[in-house]
Chains A and B, each alone.
Chain A
Amino acid sequence: MTGITDAAPRNVLVVSDLSVEYRGEKRTTRAVDRVSFTIGPGEAFGLAGESGCGKSTAANAIMRLLRDPAVITGGSILFDGRDVLAMSPDELRSFRWREVAMVFQSAMNSLNPVMTIGDQIMDIFTTHEGMTKKQARVRAAELLDLVQIDAGRLKAYPHQLSGGMRQRVVIAMAVALHPTLLIMDEPTTALDVVVQQEIMAQIGDLQQELGFSILFITHDMSLMIELCDRMAVMYSGRFVETAEAKGLFANPRHPYTRALINAFPPMHGPVAELTGLGEGVRFTNIPDLVEVSPGHLAALDSAGTHDILGGRS
């Protein structure tokens, strides 16, 4: 898939043929295998797949947060036309959080347990904007206000807040510098259903207000259809299908997509029967995506079939 350059409006993120390997002492695993996608300004892009399919690895690669033994072995990542993979450490440091920010899965684990919430928010402003502590504190209070948290909580430690509050704090921190792209890695997985809905609403509101693009990662398909414009389904490091969100749900072309959708029946509507993939079915040799209808791509080869372990179907 070719990146679209110089087309207006310019794509916020263009990932082309990205490959990431984990190089261990004994063997090497390919976690992300020639993945390509684009995200436009103000667009919400969903990335779905089961645990271990590589979606988190791909997301972390965008900000080059992966540590040893991960290595980016191929492809390119263009952010607003800039080559992320060629950035120096200093460029990377000012790029991070200002242009792209990330919301991690567990807010409890991503907050420093021995620093107050306020200090951790102020960190952002004193580092990137060169503010004084006083100025930073004012901005921090404004941020908390944005997510409906009382400014008095600035002095609190992470363990003193509820799960939902923590997640909102982390989201507030992410939008602090008004980044162009927000990556959200399973932001609601650790929360209960009621709080989940609140957080999803919060995200939606913030996006309306601030206009950032979103890369939303989850294994729960039903969350995506509310928020996302376009979506991709990932399996074992490769994309198996990508399309407009509603189109994907209405007409899933790859059997894996179908199975994933069926695993999370919608909250409303008639009772649906759960049908999975079947015992022992594994996809191998996933071909490149081909267009099966305008804007809708799936990993089916020319015969419209797909490889599974043990033969073709």
Chain B
Amino acid sequence: MSATDPSEVVILAAADMPEKEPRAASPRRRARPEGLVRSLLRNRKAFAGLIILAGFILLALLAPVIAPGDPSIITGQGAQAPSAEHLFGTTPKGQDVLALTLWGSRSSLLVGFVVGLAATAVALLAGLTSAFFGRAIDNGLSLITNVFLLLPGLPLLVILAAFLPPGLGTVMLVLTITGWAGGARVLRSQALSIRGTDFVAAAIVTGEKSLRIMFREILPNMASIVMITLLGVVIFAIGAQAGLEFLGLGDPSVVSWGTNLYWASNDGALMSGFWWAFVPSGAAIAFVAFALALINYGVDEVSNPRLRSARRRPFGTGTEVAR
């Protein structure tokens, strides 16, 4: 398992919520989203993750300022080690690696977040619908979800990307199709659990319309799990996009972290020992993924206090006595 597949990341977070009958959750009033954000900021892990992520987003936005011009034009001699002129060195072709890495962040982050939002939206829709519109629809949707979860991700990605016209749109579409199922299962479980609570039952009995109940009663209480799902899918999307591009199925003309690695491999940078050509882009992916994972664990710890690091006594020593 790695943090580059949405179902995996959501499994980590939802290991506490196995696929079983929805627990009777204690009745809660509409949860306040501001409370969640504030406790997140206080959580060390989440805070660190947010800082790192913000840093990358900033660099992505400022890329045209820091490294103006087209990053793929040749600006120096091929395969130069890092120097004052080229801080990250040059590729075998002679392009500036720093510029490529900075500009690459724009495409990678954009695809990551677009796919994240799209796939989470689909998953949320599927989960809510499943929980709310009766057994038959639930069974049907669950079947579809489970099939998508079962089919191996990368081969499916490859086969879809190979047959559709190459381009960023295809990549985004294909990643969304393979990325929604993991979140759908978890969101359905949570939605069912909330649906079983008393205050939702009250809403149904007083005749509130289904859609209204879905969006005003159930959804706000799912804030933290939706966020975990979203971040998980973003991690998946960034990694999977890189994987696709590495295989040559992306759009090689676009500058992104994945295509940088593709060219590094293709141009023999690896075998010739020009490490500066492939380290930055890969490290960037790793750091962004790690930042997102940190935020995820923070959200999980905030909403599931049992997982917070506790001063645990060794097992079997009995209750602590402090007289």
Contacts and interface: CB of A to CB of B under 8 A. Distances in A.
A68 B311 contact: yes
Interface in A21-75: 25, 60-61, 64-75
A72 B317 contact: no
A138 interface: no
B312 interface: yes
Interface centre among B312, B313, B316, B319 (most CB of A within 10 A): B319
A93 interface: yes
B318 interface: yes
A72 B310 contact: no
Interface in B299-319: 308, 310-313, 316-319
B321 interface: yes
B15 interface: no
Interface stretch (A84-92, A97-105, A158-166, A263-271): A84-92
B323 interface: yes
B323 to A, nearest CB: 6
A89 B323 contact: no
A108 B257 CA distance: 54
Contacts of A93: 316
B320 interface: yes
B312 A68 contact: yes
B20 to A, nearest CB: 12
A64 B321 CA distance: 9
A175 B321 CA distance: 28
Contacts of B151: none
A169 B319 CA distance: 27
Q: Which of A25, A60, A65, A68 has the most CB of B within 10 A?
A: A68
Contacts of A61: 319
Nearest to B312: A68
Contact of A71 (B308, B312, B322): B322
B316 A71 contact: no
B319 to A, nearest CB: 4
A67 B315 CA distance: 9
A58 to B, nearest CB: 12
Given A68-B311, A68-B312, A68-B313, A73 B322 contact: yes
A87 B323 CA distance: 14
A69 B323 CA distance: 15
B321 to A, nearest CB: 5
Given A72-B323, A73-B323, A89 B312 contact: no
A47 B248 CA distance: 73
Contacts of B318: 64-65, 87, 89, 92
B320 A71 contact: yes
Nearest to B313: A68
B76 to A, nearest CB: 55
Contacts of B313: 67-68
A70 B321 CA distance: 9
Contacts of A86: 321
B316 A72 contact: no
Contacts of B323: 72-75, 85
Contacts of A68: 310-313, 320
Interface in A192-214: none
Contacts of A92: 317-318
Nearest to B317: A89
Nearest to B305: A25
A35 B272 CA distance: 77
A258 B231 CA distance: 56
B306 to A, nearest CB: 11
Nearest to B320: A71
Contacts of B312: 68
A85 B310 contact: no
Contacts of A75: 323
B167 to A, nearest CB: 50
Nearest to A66: B319
A72 B312 CA distance: 15
B316 A64 contact: no
B311 A72 contact: no
B164 to A, nearest CB: 47
Contacts of B322: 71-73
Interface string A84-125: 011101001100000000000000000000000000000000
B105 to A, nearest CB: 37
25 contacts: A64-B321, A65-B318, A65-B319, A67-B313, A67-B319, A68-B310, A68-B311, A68-B312, A68-B320, A69-B310, A70-B320, A71-B320, A71-B322, A72-B319, A72-B323, A73-B323, A74-B323, A85-B323, A86-B321, A87-B318, A89-B317, A89-B318, A92-B317, A92-B318, A93-B316
Given A66-B319, A71-B320, A85-B323, 6 more contacts: A61-B319, A67-B319, A71-B322, A85-B321, A87-B318, A89-B317
Closest 3 CB pairs of A and B: A64-B318, A66-B319, A64-B319
Interface of A: 20, 25, 60-61, 64-75, 85-87, 89, 92-93
